[in-house]
Structures are given as C-alpha cells and as structure tokens.
Amino acid sequence: MPNIGVTGFILIILVALLLFGPSKLPQLGRAIGTTLREFRAGARDLLQQGEDDQNEPRKSKKDTEQK
C-alpha cells in the first residue's frame, strides 16, 4: 500500500471538499466506512470457509460409492 504523507492527505481532503462539498462529506465518509466494514466481513467469512474446507477430511471416491 502506498505511503501517503501529510501533504498528500491534505490534497485528497481538499479535492473531496471541492467535488462533494462540506455538506455531503460526512455522508460520503459513512458510506465508505460501511462499505469497507462489509467488505472485511465478507473477506473474513470467505477465509474462514476456506480454512474449514481444508480442515474437513476429504471423502474418496470409494467412500461415496459404498453408500
């Protein structure tokens, strides 16, 4: 991830203020925060599901034919 300095951060804030205005900025921040939270939760679920699948013993073809 790129390292953004103080100058870069201030520049991003100024551009956001110019594009969206001060009244829309809090709504935009909340929307971005909610989106990131949902993305992280989904990624965590996928990783957990992958770990569960790896820990589950695999059934061989013979085991499924016997049933």
**How many CB atoms are closer than 10 A to CB 49?**
10
DSSP 8-state assignment for residue 53: H
- Residue 51 pLDDT: 79
Ramachandran angles phi, psi of 30, nearest 5°: -65, -40
- Residue 37 pLDDT: 96
Task: Note the pLDDT tens digit of each residue in 23-58.
Answer: 888 898 899 999 999 999 999 998 888 777 777 766
* 59 has a pLDDT exceeding 80: no
* CA distance readout (Å), 48 to 28, 36, 44: 30, 18, 6
Give the mean model confidence (pLDDT) for residues 7-24. Answer: 89
* 16 has a pLDDT exceeding 60: yes
* 63 has a pLDDT exceeding 80: no
Q: 28 near 21, Cβ under 8 Å?
A: no
